[in-house]
Amino acid sequence: MYKLTGVTKLYHKGRRVVPAVRDLNLTIEDGGWLAVQGRTGSGKSTLLNLLGGLDRATEGSIKLDGTDLGTLREEPLTRLRAGSVGFVFQTFNLVATLSAAENVEAALIPLGVGHSARRERVAAALEQVGLADRAAHLPSELSGGQQQRVAIARALVKEPKVLLADEPTGNLDEDTRNDIIALLERLWSDRGLTLVLITHDTAVARRAQRTGVMNKGRLTVGQTPAPPPGRPR
Amino acid sequence: MFFLTYLQRELRRRARQAVFIALGLALGVGLVVTVSAASAGVNKAQSKVLSTLYGVGTDVTVTGGNPGRPTGAQATPPPVVPGKSFSNILLSYAAVSASKAAQVAQVAHLSGVSAAAGVLSFSDVSMTFGSGSNPPVVNSLTIDGVGTGRPSLGPLSGATLISGHAFTTADSDAAVAVVDSGYAASHSLKAGSAVSIDNVKYTVIGIVRQPQQGGTPTDVYIPLARAAEAVAAAGWGAQANDVNTIYVSAASAADVSAVSREISALLPGTTVTTASSLASEVTGSLSTASKLINDLGRWLSVLVLIAAFALAALLTMAAVARRAREFGTLKAIGWRSRRIIAQVLGESLALGVAGAAAGVGLGFAGAAIIAAFAPALPATVTQNDGSGVAQVQQASAGSSLSGTTSHVVSVVLHPSVTIGVIVLAVVLAVAGGLLAGVLGSWRISQLRPADALARVA
């Protein structure tokens, strides 16, 4: 469970101080799905970075299962990310020189998983995202949607508690976007993940349990309206 | 396995840059190897020049000063009668010590000395007065009185026996001689022939060839005791009982300076000469080449190496900066900074090793080119009285030995690449690669993941 209390993140640009996140209070239950919308520069990505321990809050506390991320030094924070947090980025962020399988395998390296166990888990992860036959392909040989599937496989191969997705469909066409969101929804449901998803797309946001709106660093969270009949939540 | 796969793929991706870095390191390393090889060759050549003067295995020579004038019959110059001949025995140097103690044995027992051998060097100079305005004709026979039991040290140490046999201990008081091949050829001498020194006949038992090119080796070698008799008979008095040159072999190169000082204290008034002091006397093309290689060559190779290191560092830092987002992603998925640094260092190390291998190859090639195309370099050693071995070229009756003597020796450079230089080259290249990797990866390791991810790929 995530518990954010009075979280503020300030950036110093020369003499100017830019508040990216202001006095944010938020609780995300285990297995919950929060979608966060907002304009560009509203602080959405900053919030995601704080949740994932990629950045540190200027004020306040961010607790994940009772552990205050702000009190952890770099190494334990990295270990926590390695085992518990998966990331999916808008630009996929695959290593260009590694194949799909090797990109997924990269997530298991910090966990000290043995070679044959790594191969098995990588194969299973790629199978889950429907890319078992693309394991040896480089990112440059995959479509945008396929690359994002590889990124999702990389995020989930370590069986994290939390999946943080920063505009995972931002660079994809509509059909591919729907496929990716459907995949994420299925995985969230099957694995009981805690999912926080940043999106511009209201249609995507509506599929979440809760929707939040970031505006100038402040987050307003509401319950997502029920979907129209015939559409899953 | 993943580490190597990632490393290999990344180097292949930026192959051109990787080749550039490796070549830069190779160039610097190759220059270091070539210059070191050439320097070793020059030092060897200089040693060869110097060893022609005082023999193989000699680290220090001790020579007496001006021998002065003989007493007795030789003290009075003969009347000038056209067509009449006379001969004089002239010492090359004064005796090493005025005392009758066994100076050679004393020197041999000094700390740091492994062996010492005494030599009595002199000349048998004959002059035939010319008639009318014709100048006199002077013939000079150079002679070294040597110990018959220690061929490994002294003027015969580097000689090659080409016929007959060398001295044995049984010859210590015999009227026998070993003759230089050049002198033997010009006087039609062979083993069994006779050679005359101050009207005393010596039987030639062996003919030797000295390792000299362009220098003037001693003509005849006779047992030391016989040399002492000849010098005494010529009226040189007490100096006949002593040697006028001591050849000394040090226990190690590190002992040479200390040995030199000890001998100077033991035998004041003598000239103590080492290879390093003689090296400063070497002039000519060899000396110029030595200066070029040791001064200019070394500085040039250091500069090129620094440039190669700088280039490697800059290119690596640029490559790492371009991969900021990649490294940020790896940090995000749980890679520690240490692992990322190890990856970058591994890539740099691979380039360093490649640069080292190529550099050693270039170094060998450079040394081979020098060996193949370098001309023979003349080297001249000019020496004053009592300094080193001076050979009497010409002497007139009644004059004491004085003046300078020059030896011109021509040597071919043989650059040699030693294991030590190869190890140094590998260490330099690897260090260069690692330095580049450390500089490149340190910045990234300091970057927060969020900042790294925000970088444009």
Q: Is the pLDDT of residue B68 over 90?
A: no
**Separation between Cα atoms, residue A163 and residue B286, nearest integer Å:** 75
Q: Do A54 and B326 lie within an 8 Å CB cutoff?
A: no
Does the pTM of the predicted model rise above 0.90?
A: no
- Average pLDDT value over all residues in chain A: 89
Residues of B in contact with A86 (CB under 8 A): 333
Q: Report the pLDDT value the prediction gives residue B392, as an integer from 0 to 100.
A: 30
Q: Which of A77, A93, A147 is most worth mutating to test chain B (most B CB atoms within 10 A of its CB)?
A: A93
State yes or no: pLDDT of B94 exceeds 70.
no
Residue A10 touches partner B, C-beta closer than 8 Å: no
pLDDT above 70 as % of chain A? 95
What distance in Å separates the CA atoms of residue B255 and residue B83, rounded to the nearest whole number?
Answer: 55
Share of chain B above pLDDT 70, in %: 73
Q: Nearest 10 degrees: CA dihedral of A32, A37, A40, A43? A: -50
Angle subtended at Cα A115 by Cα A109 and Cα A117, rounded to the nearest 5 degrees: 95
Interface probe for B, chosen from A47, A51, A54, A198 (most Cβ of B below 10 Å), is A54
- Name the β-bridge partners of B126: B87, B139
Mean pLDDT of chain B: 78
Of A58, A55, A60, A54, which Cα lies nearest the Cα of A24?
A: A60
Average of pLDDT values for B361-390?
Answer: 66
- Listing DSSP states for B12-63 in one string gives HHTHHHHHHHHHHHHHHHHHHHHHHHHHHHHHHHHHHHHHHHH-TT--EEEE
pLDDT of B401 > 50? The answer is: no
Closest partner residue to B6 (CB to CB) among A49, A86, A98 is: A98
Q: Provide the residue count of chain A.
A: 233
Q: Is A89 within 8 Å of chain B by CB?
A: yes
Report d(CA B177, CA B171) in Å as an integer.
9
In this complex, which of A54, A105, A109 lies closest to B332 when CB atoms are compared? Answer: A54
Per-residue confidence (pLDDT) for residue A34, from 0 to 100: 94
Q: Do B450 and A55 touch (CB under 8 A)?
A: yes
Look at residue B397 and tell me whether its pLDDT is greater than 80: no
CA–CA distance, B203 with B199 (Å, rounded to integer): 13
Query: Which domains are seen in chain A, by residue range?
Result: 31-42+77-219 (3.40.50.300)
What is the arithmetic mean of pLDDT over B290-300? 74
Beta bridge partners of B118: B246
Tokens representing A40? 């560009």
State how far residue B331 is from chain A, nearest Cα, in angstroms: 7
In terms of pLDDT, which residue wins out, B131 or B399?
A: B131
- Contact residues, chain A, for B457 at CB < 8 Å: 91
Q: Could you tell me if B221 and B178 are in contact, meaning their C-beta atoms sit under 8 angstroms apart?
A: yes
Alpha carbon distances (Å) from B375 to B95, B215, B294, B409: 41, 19, 18, 13
- Nearest by Cα to A155 from A196, A208, A202: A196
- Inter-residue contact A196 to A48 (CB < 8 Å): yes
Q: Which residue among B9, B326, B331 places its CB closest to the CB of A78?
A: B331
Looking at residue A5, what is its pLDDT? 93
Supply the pLDDT for residue A12: 85
* Element housing A11 (H / E): strand A2-13
pLDDT digits (tens, 9 = 90+) for A38-75: 888 888 999 999 999 999 999 999 999 999 999 999 88
How large is the average pLDDT for residues A177-188? 89
CA distance A1 to chain B (A): 20
Q: Tell me which residue has tokens 């996929």.
A: A92
B9 with A52: Cβ contact below 8 A: no
Q: How far apart are CA B319 and CA B343, in angstroms?
A: 13
Per residue in B23-64, pLDDT tens?
Answer: 988 888 888 888 888 887 777 776 666 666 565 667 788 887
Q: Torsion angle, CA of B124/B281/B49/B365, rounded to 10 degrees?
A: -170
